[in-house]
Amino acid sequence: MSDGSLTEVARLTEVAEWYREFVLYTRNVSPLYAELAEGVANDRDVLTLLLELPEQKRQPNLLFAAVRHVAGTPSDYAQFRSILFSRRETVVATMLARRTQTNEPGRCAAVYPLLAALPQPVALLEVGASAGLCLLPDRYAYEYNGVPAGAAQSPLMIPCRVEGVWTHPTTAVEVAWRAGIDVNPLSVTDPDDRRWLETLIWPGQDERVRRLDRALAVARHDPPRVVRGDLNERLADVAAEAPEHATLVVFHTSVLCYLSAADRQRFVEQVRRLGAHWISQEESGVAPSVTADLPELASDEDPMVVLALDGRAVALTAPHGGLIRWLEPADPSAS
Ligand X SMILES: C[S@@+](CC[C@H](N)C(=O)[O-])C[C@H]1O[C@@H](n2cnc3c(N)ncnc32)[C@H](O)[C@@H]1O
Contact set with ligand X (CB under 6 A): 99-104, 107, 127-130, 134, 181-184, 230-231, 253-255, 258-259
Q: How far is the CB of 256 from ligand X (least distance, A)?
A: 9
Question: What percent of the residues of the chain are helix, what percent strand, and what percent coil, each to the nearest 5?
Answer: 45, 20, 35
In the complex, residue closest to ligand X by CB: 128
Of 138 and 182, nearer to ligand X (C-beta) is 182
Of 59 and 149, nearer to ligand X (C-beta) is 59
Of 47 and 226, nearer to ligand X (C-beta) is 226
Q: How far is the CB of 335 from ligand X (least distance, A)?
A: 34
Q: Classify strands 323-326 and 312-317 as parallel, antiparallel or unpaired.
A: antiparallel
Beta-carbon contacts of residue 99 (< 8 Å; ≥ 6 apart): 62, 183, 184
Q: How far is the CB of 235 from ligand X (least distance, A)?
A: 9
Q: How far is the CB of 137 from ligand X (least distance, A)?
A: 12
Of 107 and 194, nearer to ligand X (C-beta) is 107
Of 83 and 111, nearer to ligand X (C-beta) is 111
Q: How far is the CB of 182 from ligand X (least distance, A)?
A: 4
Of 47 and 94, nearer to ligand X (C-beta) is 94
Give all strands of the β-sheet with 226-228 in edge-to-edge order: 147-150, 141-144, 157-163, 323-326, 312-317, 305-309, 277-283, 247-253, 122-127, 175-182, 226-228
Q: How far is the CB of 281 from ligand X (least distance, A)?
A: 7
Helical ranges in the chain per DSSP H: 3-26, 31-41, 44-51, 60-71, 77-86, 88-97, 108-116, 191-199, 206-221, 231-239, 261-274, 288-291
- Whether residue 142 contacts residue 148, with contact meaning beta carbons closer than 8 Å, is answered with yes
324 DSSP 8-state letter: E
